[in-house]
Amino acid sequence: MAGKTAGKEKRKKKGRRHGLRRKVVVGAPPGELVATPDAPQAIMRAVAVSGEAIDERPLEGVGDLAALREAHDFVWVDVVGVDDVEAVRAVGEHFGLHALALEDVVHLGQRPKAEIYGDHLFVVGSLMHQPAVDVLEREQISMFVGRSYVLTFQEREGDCFEPVRDRLRSGRGRIRRSGADYLAYALLDALVDHFYPVFETMAERMDHLEERVYGVDDQGEVVTELSTLRHALLELRRQVWPLRDALNVLMRHDVPIIQPETTPYLADIHDHLVRLVDMTESLRESAASLLDVHLALQSQRLNEVMKVLTIIATIFMPLSFVVGLYGMNFDTSSPYNMPELGWRFGYPVVLGGMALVAAVLVWAFRRAGWLGR
Amino acid sequence: MAGKTAGKEKRKKKGRRHGLRRKVVVGAPPGELVATPDAPQAIMRAVAVSGEAIDERPLEGVGDLAALREAHDFVWVDVVGVDDVEAVRAVGEHFGLHALALEDVVHLGQRPKAEIYGDHLFVVGSLMHQPAVDVLEREQISMFVGRSYVLTFQEREGDCFEPVRDRLRSGRGRIRRSGADYLAYALLDALVDHFYPVFETMAERMDHLEERVYGVDDQGEVVTELSTLRHALLELRRQVWPLRDALNVLMRHDVPIIQPETTPYLADIHDHLVRLVDMTESLRESAASLLDVHLALQSQRLNEVMKVLTIIATIFMPLSFVVGLYGMNFDTSSPYNMPELGWRFGYPVVLGGMALVAAVLVWAFRRAGWLGR
Amino acid sequence: MAGKTAGKEKRKKKGRRHGLRRKVVVGAPPGELVATPDAPQAIMRAVAVSGEAIDERPLEGVGDLAALREAHDFVWVDVVGVDDVEAVRAVGEHFGLHALALEDVVHLGQRPKAEIYGDHLFVVGSLMHQPAVDVLEREQISMFVGRSYVLTFQEREGDCFEPVRDRLRSGRGRIRRSGADYLAYALLDALVDHFYPVFETMAERMDHLEERVYGVDDQGEVVTELSTLRHALLELRRQVWPLRDALNVLMRHDVPIIQPETTPYLADIHDHLVRLVDMTESLRESAASLLDVHLALQSQRLNEVMKVLTIIATIFMPLSFVVGLYGMNFDTSSPYNMPELGWRFGYPVVLGGMALVAAVLVWAFRRAGWLGR
Amino acid sequence: MAGKTAGKEKRKKKGRRHGLRRKVVVGAPPGELVATPDAPQAIMRAVAVSGEAIDERPLEGVGDLAALREAHDFVWVDVVGVDDVEAVRAVGEHFGLHALALEDVVHLGQRPKAEIYGDHLFVVGSLMHQPAVDVLEREQISMFVGRSYVLTFQEREGDCFEPVRDRLRSGRGRIRRSGADYLAYALLDALVDHFYPVFETMAERMDHLEERVYGVDDQGEVVTELSTLRHALLELRRQVWPLRDALNVLMRHDVPIIQPETTPYLADIHDHLVRLVDMTESLRESAASLLDVHLALQSQRLNEVMKVLTIIATIFMPLSFVVGLYGMNFDTSSPYNMPELGWRFGYPVVLGGMALVAAVLVWAFRRAGWLGR
Amino acid sequence: MAGKTAGKEKRKKKGRRHGLRRKVVVGAPPGELVATPDAPQAIMRAVAVSGEAIDERPLEGVGDLAALREAHDFVWVDVVGVDDVEAVRAVGEHFGLHALALEDVVHLGQRPKAEIYGDHLFVVGSLMHQPAVDVLEREQISMFVGRSYVLTFQEREGDCFEPVRDRLRSGRGRIRRSGADYLAYALLDALVDHFYPVFETMAERMDHLEERVYGVDDQGEVVTELSTLRHALLELRRQVWPLRDALNVLMRHDVPIIQPETTPYLADIHDHLVRLVDMTESLRESAASLLDVHLALQSQRLNEVMKVLTIIATIFMPLSFVVGLYGMNFDTSSPYNMPELGWRFGYPVVLGGMALVAAVLVWAFRRAGWLGR
């Protein structure tokens, strides 16, 4: 019973999982960003790269940006906290971003996508968090890429870009020399890398569920957990698949911001995403097949239970009838009224007869394969 | 039983849900509008926009329109009540609309679509109403867009365009400055916004059904309600998906009426529709998986019921046989006829034997895992 | 039992429903029309239209045609009875039709399609008849369209073209003025209109089946009828879907016989067909979901039956054991042999004990939710 | 039991049905034909057509061919027995065929396909044999078409080309006048015609299975036979579908060997294949739906069996308890010990009470609809 | 029980089967190869071909390569052991390979694919090993093809290229004369040939499972094994299908490295892969259908078990009631208290009555078809 209650609570937790996020104020003109009351202030960090030198610093406002951009080849601005609509609008105005794209940054719950706006690209991606083993939370990561800047927006603290920052700091590889588009690639790559541990946890849960399906104990939660797992896999696929389309957009269209040397790198991410979808599909098929196995085993167990019942009933009902027969109170005065009750060997004969009946029945069951296990 | 009757009534209510609407008089030439007898008169409202000024007024007939259109940049005419065929025909003639398009306005039950007729566009959309929690009614909204006019036809009062009207009145955003195509976008956007609460109600019903599936009480209506919900989701998808195609038509074709600046806005609606379909599909998969869970849990419960029955029968049938055995009326004269009946400790020995049999059976059941829960 | 026999007869009736029609004489060269022995003579009717005048008359042979065609703008020849191969060949030769197309006219069972042969179009369509509520018969309608003629072939009497004929006679609409291609459109439109009542009958049967699934009585035939209905829907779809493709062929290809003004009308038929397929799909999904509901309700009923059985057995088996116990014939001489039989309140105590056992069991069942309904 | 053994033997027969045919010697270079030891000699027949005269004769070797081809317009060589690798190689060299195509002729088990090799076409088709009602054997037919020759390879004697040969002999139709490409069409047409009787046999088995599903007797083999039938239908579809693609290749590509006049004839075969696939799909859906019906009826029968059991147990368990009660050996000395045993009307009252209980239970079952059938 | 444990161990073995292979050090720049500690040294073998002469030798390092390549037309270098990152890098540098492609060589678990890098092709393939009957292990084979070299990388010893090496040594066929692209074809062909025995083993397991499903004994593991088999088939398909796409890339794109004469050979491999996928799909459908059959047979067996139980209970419960009735201890003093107990023929009459009841019930069961088997 405890398991059931726990299951209920889990379901409560994923109550808002249907992907719905209300659009803000109905009737507001599109492109108008409405401030969220009491939103915490956004944190902005800039990394400016110039030849082989970098300048990493927190930003107080967009005021510092102009100087920084002038002094360096390209700059990466990372904004954490998109509820601070004022900050988003200020950054957007500084870089001359399209109002609809800015709206998508603030109105969370967008599907991953890539859009091309004249002189800048707009990419929406997903970062999957797993606060608990069967809870999957999505954080929307938005990215703008121009000739000399990359702009990333994260919902909250705790990011996946630290390895890229490390590489920028250490100067390893070609990341400092290769321009904004290569940096954008490195960030997307880091984003995609974070799908792997999520998938791994699911694969482990799958293995765990398989052991339980084949085991004899507590099957109660298997169906529920399989259903939760399939839902999570679907959710994962729903984030990975459109990202693949987004990369297609970046690779196929003749996008001037993406230099030809960067395209093979994007193709590499594309490859990873295809493999991820592949693996997810494989796991989903395993889950579906495990449900089949579970149901088949259950029906098999029912068959066995029913066989036990039928064997018991088939053996003991005739025997009970016989002993009931000799329990009838027919007068012993009439010679036709169960004379065997008075026979010297009546009781042993009856007992032997009953043993014979039971033996014949057991033999018949064995022949029919019911006792063959 | 009350639940069943209620379910029946529900089904009655959606008796005409198969999407069928008879075409009018068979044999009538196409494009000929046949008047519905006793149809209420249509209500027409015009909003004329000129630079930054607007002129909102009810229209008595199409007579006033010519002057209004001359005096302003563009005009939005909203006609409520398409059963008033005369009014539709008069408006159609005034704007020079294609006869087949007008026929689609009057013959309700069209799929959402967009068609391009020389100098005007024709868009059919859907407004979903939910008069009760599990009733979904569709209202057909037809829209014509020309260079200097937008024309909307609604089936009945109670519209979704009020926020757009408010924006026109207040003059917020670019709606007054941007021409008829932007107004058409704003109206379509308002239409699509109205799918969200419908979807939300369904998501809530889904959550409610999940709780009931996992609960112990009244499962009776779960299957029926899941089936109704899936049907409603399918219906929703059937309205949203072709609307997406319609937007593709407006965006892709080289439509002269749609100005290039408006295209990103249409792409935004397109995005919303794709997400809606996504969410709907997700909910449908949840519903399918919930049905699986329900059936699996039910089969599990059957297994448990059968185990209880088998355990009881397997324990008591042999015991009943034994007590029946000693109830046989064999003559006590013969020494072979159940001498144990006369033993001093016969009764306790028999009782003990039966207790032993029961204990062995319980142990066997426990070992087989039948009592392990 | 009567129901089962009826079901069997129904199945007999649709014995030849697998869509198979033997091709005629194996080894005959293609395009050679082999006469059916004893075929009734074909009935030919011509309607010649010239400006605003029409000339409607029966045709004895193709001899009259030449004069009629010369005197009028265009002519519609309707041939009823394609088994009269001689007549078909004569007409074909008069109009210079392709031998393979003529073969398709005579060899019934063709899929709906449209083919373009130099100076004429060839369209195959289907007319669905419903001689009984669950019997669906297909009649093949073939149509040739040239610049100045429309030629229709029907399998048998009883046609769907009467409304078009009426319109030609009355001169309403543009049918007399608009040429052979518009007439062909009108005939196709009439053909498609005849799918609606067929669909409607199926929708009604579906509603009827739903009521039976949720009702308590006679479920026996539900599965069979659902299966028949799904088959009929599939058949309907199989006729409608390729017709849609045929219309695509007529609209998309640059067909010189179809004038540009006629294309929107063809698009209108296309629209109707798409909606019909939509509605059919919707009904098929309803049928599939109703089967699920039926099976789920059945398994629920089985659960309830088993619960009743288990409750009864669990209560009465222990009680029967107890009463059997006190029916044992142990000698009352030994003080250990059921002394309670001689007690003053032995019987009431035993009765009370059994009532207690029963009460405890009922309480346990209620707690487990088995009596909760 | 006999049925089960028969089923087993059937399965044995189709043991090699998974479509696998080993490629010959691993490590052999591609295009090298390895002779099968002890293969029977191939039989070659030539039909040479020149204007309106034909010359039909058996061929001893390829030596005679050169003269024959020179003297006539085109020649058809039919080779029976592809295990005679030498003969195949000799013919291939004479006509200058590509080594890989020849390899496909000899390595049976190719999918139907059409390939274009410079100056000749290569088509692989299938001839389905039905040696027994549920055995489906495939014979590979390979065909090469050049400007002045058609070359067919058959696995073994017993061909489907006799009607074409008859037509060549009789000179009916345009077969002698129309060149090698039209002859190739006629041969393909004859090949496709042979799918029809195979399909017909399956349709008959389907009808037979339907009758058994709805009947009351021996359901044992239904599932197995349905499964076999579905497998055979899949196999049929697997041969027909790629042949359709092959015809697309012949029609669409700008193949110089195919004259424009022949294309409509190929389109006609294409049409037949599409219809065959259609009919096969229809039969497969019928089979799937019949399996559903079978399972649903089976579950219905289980329900009815369980109802009978429950009714019997529910009526007789309480009654058996009552009679057991009055079989208890309580001392009649105590006034509380079942005084009714001594009453004058005790027995009739007890009997009446039991009849009442039984009647109430029967009434309850009737009310619950369990006895409603 | 032993079977269950074995099943568990099997599952353990394929614990890492979800296709996941971690990408190496997170944060490492792309294209940077990180050395695996303690990796065994790679074994390199070169075969240089010059006209009709070959030179086959082991390579110590890339130093010898330059001379070898200069002296011969083309060279094939086979590297076994990709964990030796240094060797891979050295070879890569010698041939000027793209860093991302080299990364794919080392990071195992890539999907089969073909990529075109300026002057060389990169193909990833799979070699399936079957160390045990139900274990499927994948080895990644990577191949680079340039104008004058073929480069293959294998994970470990034990290769599938020996037949090609033999052909090179013996000089049979055109392999020595035809350049690097034909050698690459021969290697790919050898790779694809190794899918056949894997498929064959699966087909045999399938046949074996079929026999067990239709047999009467031990059904326990059937579902599990079917599930494992379907998983393995899916895995096989997952390796074969993308390889087909890779061949499409090589054939369709205008790849300068592939000479036109080689294209038909690639088409031949493509054909084999399509057939393999076809056969795999066929086997998967067989497996799905076998699961259906298994479940249907199981439900049929349950039906039969329940019928036995019901027949036994229905016959013996009324009889037990009767014998219990006459076991009641009603006082024989009252004339209404079971006078038949004292009748002369009471006992035979009761026995006969019970026999009659049993006979009627048996007759009823036979009529209902329950005893008809």
**A234 — contact with chain B (CB < 8 Å)?**
yes
pTM for the structure as a whole = 0.79
Tell me the residue length of chain B: 373
E204 touches chain D (CB under 8 A): no
pLDDT recorded at residue D11: 40
Which parts of chain E sit beneath pLDDT 50? 1-17, 19-26, 373
Residue of C nearest to D284 (CA): C18
Name which of C111, C235, C344 is nearest D334 (Cβ-Cβ): C344
Spatial contact of D59 and D94, defined as CB atoms under 8 Å apart: no
Question: Residue E32: its pLDDT value, please?
Answer: 66
Mutation target vs D (from C11, C14, C16, C20; most D CBs, 10 A cutoff) = C20
pLDDT tens for each residue of A334-366: 777 777 777 778 788 888 988 999 999 999 888
Q: Concatenated DSSP letters for A82-129?
A: TT-HHHHHHHHHHHT--HHHHHHHHS--PPPEEEEETTEEEEEEEEEE
Point out which residues pair with A47 in neighbouring strands: A56, A76
Among partner residues B166, B196, B325, which is closest to A27 by beta-carbon distance? B166
The H or E element that residue A144 is part of is: strand A137-145
Nearest to A227 by CA among A215, A239, A235: A235
Q: Tell if the CB–CB gap between C306 and B308 is shorter than 8 Å.
A: no
Which tens digits make up the pLDDT trace of D8-30? 444 443 334 454 444 444 455 66
| H/E stretch holding D113 | strand D113-117
Q: What average pLDDT does range B342-349 have in this prediction?
A: 80
Name the range with the highest mean pLDDT among A263-277, B8-22, B325-339.
Answer: A263-277
- pLDDT (0 to 100) of residue C183: 93
Region label for A108, one of left (φ > 0), alpha (ψ between -120 and 50) or beta (otherwise): beta
**Domains observed in chain D:** 36-296 (3.30.460.20), 305-367 (1.20.58.340)
* Neighboring chain B residues of C207 at a CB cutoff of 8 Å: 11, 15
C-alpha span between D74 and C212 (Å, rounded): 69
* Residue among E30, E320, E329 minimizing CB distance to A329: E329
**Rounded mean pLDDT of D295-323?**
86
Residue E34 to residues A185, B26, B177, D359, E154, Cα–Cα distance (Å): 20, 77, 60, 85, 18
How does residue C99 score in pLDDT terms, banded at 50, 70 and 90?
A: confident
Chain D neighbours among E 253-312 (CB < 8 Å)? 264-265, 267-268, 271-272, 274-275, 278-279, 282-283, 285-286, 289-290, 292-293, 296-297, 299-300, 302-303, 306-307, 309-310
Contact between C299 and D300 using a beta-carbon 8 Å cutoff: no
Which 137-166 residues of chain E touch chain D by CB within 8 A?
Answer: 162-164, 166
> CA-nearest residue of chain E to A212?
E8
Q: Which of B24, B98, B323, B330 has the highest number of chain C CBs within 10 A, making it the mutation to test binding with C?
A: B323
When pLDDT is cut at 50, 70 and 90, the band that residue A14 belongs to is: very low
Best C323, C325, C345 residue to mutate vs chain D (most D CBs within 10 Å): C323
Task: Measure the CA–CA gap between C164 and C166, rounded to whole angstroms.
Answer: 5
What pLDDT score was predicted for residue A187?
A: 93
Q: What is the mean pLDDT of residues A278-292?
A: 88
Angle of CA points B141, B145, B149, to nearest 5°:
110
**Mean pLDDT over the full length of chain B:** 83
β-pairing, B149-154 with B137-145?
Answer: antiparallel
Which of B166, B299, B329 faces A329 most closely, judged by CB atoms? B329
State residue C216's pLDDT score: 63
pLDDT at E373: 43
User: Tens of pLDDT along C349-367?
Assistant: 888 988 999 999 999 888 8
Q: d(Cα E7, Cα B79) in Å, to the nearest integer?
A: 70
Asked if C345 contacts D336 with a C-beta cutoff of 8 angstroms, the reply is yes
pLDDT at position E146:
92
Cα–Cα dist C89/E70, whole Å: 76
State mean pLDDT over C204-225.
79
- Residue D23 parent element (H or E): none
Give A2's pLDDT tier (boundaries 50, 70, 90).
very low
Contact status, residue D285 vs residue D226, Cβ threshold 8 Å: no
Q: Which token pair is B103?
A: 């026929």
Burial group, residue B139, by CB count within 10 angstroms (0-12, 13-18, 19+): middle
Confidence grade of residue C113 (pLDDT, cut at 50, 70, 90)? very high
- Span D227-238, average pLDDT: 88
Alpha-carbon distance C324 to nearest alpha carbon in chain B (angstroms): 5
C11 and D210 in contact by Cβ < 8 A? Answer: yes
pLDDT the model gives residue D110: 87
Interchain proximity A334–E345, CB inside 8 Å: yes
Are residues B301 and C303, on separate chains, in Cβ contact within 8 Å?
yes
Out of D214, D299, D314, name the one closest to residue C4 (CB): D214
Of D265, D271, D329, the CB nearest to C326: D329
pLDDT in tens, B35-48: 667 778 889 999 99
Amino acid at position D184, single letter? A
Percent of chain C topping pLDDT 90: 21
- Which of C189, C272, C289 lies nearest to residue B231, judging by beta carbons? C289
Regarding predicted confidence, which is higher, B11 or C115?
C115
Alpha carbon of E118: minimum distance to chain A alpha carbons (Å): 12
Q: What tokens does A315 get?
A: 């053996």
Q: Which amino acid is at D118?
A: G
Predicted pLDDT at C11? 40
- Interchain proximity A369–E217, CB inside 8 Å: yes
Residue A35: what pLDDT? 67
Distance, in Å, from the CA atom of D301 to the CA atom of B336, rounded to the nearest integer, reads 48
Crossing angle of helices B263-325 and A222-252, in 10° steps, is 160
Q: Which chains touch A (3 or more CB pairs under 8 A)?
A: B, E
Q: What is the mean pLDDT of residues A97-122?
A: 88
Say what the pLDDT of residue B21 is. Answer: 44
Comparison of pLDDT for D20 and C233, the residue scoring more = C233
